[in-house]
Structure 1
Amino acid sequence: MSRPLSLRVELRRQITRPRTRWTYLVLLALPLVVVAAFTLGDDSNEGQNFADLATTGSANFAVFMLLVTAELLILILAALFVGDPVPAEASWSSLRYLLTAPVPRARLLTSKLLVGLGLTAFAVLLLLGWVLIVGGIFYGWEALSLDVGGSLTWSQVLPRLAASAGYVFLAQLPFAAIAFWMGVRTDAPLAAVGVAVFAAIVSSILDSLSALGDYRRALPNHYAREWIGLFGPDADYGALLPGVLWALLYATVFLALAYRHFARKDVLS
């Protein structure tokens, strides 16, 4: 007999929710909206930054789309997929039923956490794969044009795009964990997402204050754009390590707080 609320069951529950389907539809529509905006706007491409080079080929379009979505859209998706499931169950009054099924509390949280992270990772991969296709259809399959001049071949670009997508996913873990921690403390899904987004905004503001000096290195999104350095003549993958370590540290702390609080939570209230 299958265990209650297995990963397969939880995945089916989350995929069939309207918010999941609409989220992926928005991801699929976004590159087409950007293409339409480029078509209506000035397409002179006189500059040498990612926005100016976005229409020179599929690879450049993919890098540009990853840049403009990483720090807000993907962050919101991570906070939504990870932070929403527990308070949603509470607001539907089904959380008490699940825990009396019986489903151990740690297993319930783990199922929702892993599914939420899986949906977020799939969203990043879906977006990256789709923008490559859209960029190829509308702008061709040319190699990546660098903002410093020169270009990269597809054999160079694809591993860097994969590493960048993985890094963008990891960079959202602190805020996903904050949403998860807030989600076990409230029955309002929007509150969990909102707190995570607010934390990201505050962190960005503090990171812009040069008076903080090296203390800014400890902010959760200080290294969020470090992946951009991969799209230069020489990719330094080692530069990503500080951002990965800080992201894992923040995620571990807030996830531990979430598990600790939920283990003591009175779900009958």
Structure 2
Amino acid sequence: MSAAEPVVTEASERSPVAGPAPLRRRLSTRLLRSELRLIAGRRRNQMGLLVLAAVPVLIAVAVRISSPREGRGPDFLSSITSNGLFVPLAALSVELGLFLPLAIAMLAGDSVAGEANLGTLRYLLTVPVGRTRLLVTKYASLVIGAVWGVAVVVVAGAVAGIALFGTGPMPTLSGSEISFGAAVWRVVLVSLYIAAGLAALGAVGLFISTLTEQPLAATVALMIFTILSWIADSVPQISWLHPWLLVDQWMAFGDLLRDPPFWDNVAQGLRVDLGYAVVFGLLAWARFAGKDITS
């Protein structure tokens, strides 16, 4: 035996140092951190965040220089002058129809279809990274992206609103007033509720992303799904379908601003969000687990 060759003994083969390595790999967040850095580093995502932040600032400035007319715009818009925290709430109600779903659609389109389009998906799976772990990481990044998007709108709106309109007791939709601290907590609850809905939409987008290698096609398909859901939710002749639509209770976040909060519609919305996340998450896993990765 050459002196350069390592001596392998039974003791070294059973060394406890080597045992936990697979467990450490499974529990490692390195893949998730890498995915988040990739998302944050894309120029189009950075520009998207700037657009999300610009809307509440634009609303605050527009209201400051020209007070809204009675009966025009969302209820939150007409209440901005009474408390700056109504700016992020008005911005969320405006952006929830298009900009926030579009942001999630862009992230979801890139999640799997983008990797396949760039030819990096096959190499990513040879790291080695199991398909299930990769899919879970992709969805976790979408959930974090949903929280990011909502947080950008809320923080930008709160800063602009407080700077232009100040703080103080916040009038609720029930006619009473709550303290500034309680109002901040209500805004946090609203943000988490909207992020949950967007995370469920991300699960739909993740499934669509496993069906194609074109990220733009996945993005457009998810936006079509969202727009058709809004249209169906506004048609009274199919009211039986409304409770099953993902967007049906998205605007129920206003119930969190009542005194006391009205939880029925919020709970229904969270149940639908969970259902969509589970169903489409499983569909994405079933599709991706058996998919022939050629690129």
- TM-score after normalising by structure 2: 0.82
How far, CA to CA, are the matches of 1:14 and 1:44 in structure 2? Answer: 37
Pairs aligned (count):
268
Matched, 1:14 2:33: no
**Stretch of structure 1 that moved more, 166-175 or 28-37:** 28-37
Deviation above 6 Å: which 4+ runs of structure 1?
none
Identify the residue that residue 127 of structure 2 maps to in structure 1.
Answer: 101
Matched, 1:74 2:82: no
CA contact (8 A) 1:160 1:231 kept: yes
Matched, 1:177 2:203: yes
CA contact (8 A) 1:57 1:141 kept: yes
Stretches of structure 1 that go unaligned for 5 or more consecutive residues are none
Equivalent AA in structure 2 for residue 130 of structure 1: A
Q: CA deviation at 1:19?
A: 2.1
Residue 24 of structure 1, aligned match among 22, 29, 49: 49
Identify the residue that residue 142 of structure 2 maps to in structure 1.
Answer: 116
How far, CA to CA, are the matches of 1:212 and 1:127 in structure 2? Answer: 33
Give the 3 Å change call, closer, same or farther, for CA 248–147 of structure 1 in structure 2: closer
How far, CA to CA, are the matches of 2:83 and 2:101 in structure 1? Answer: 26
**Stretch of structure 1 that moved more, 19-28 or 217-226:** 19-28
Q: CA deviation at 1:234?
A: 2.5
CA contact (8 A) 2:139 2:203 kept: no
Q: CA deviation at 1:100?
A: 2.5
Matched, 1:236 2:262: yes
How far, CA to CA, are the matches of 1:29 and 1:216 in structure 2? Answer: 32
Matched, 1:225 2:223: no
Equivalent AA in structure 2 for residue 20 of structure 1: N
Residue 253 of structure 1, aligned match among 245, 268, 279: 279
CA contact (8 A) 1:177 1:254 kept: yes
Stretches of structure 2 that go unaligned for 5 or more consecutive residues are 1-20
Identify the residue that residue 53 of structure 1 maps to in structure 2.
Answer: 79
Q: CA deviation at 1:59?
A: 1.6
Residue 155 of structure 2, aligned match among 119, 129, 134: 129
Give RMSD over aligned pairs: 2.3
Aligned residues: percent identity? 27
Give the 3 Å change call, closer, same or farther, for CA 244–268 of structure 1 in structure 2: same
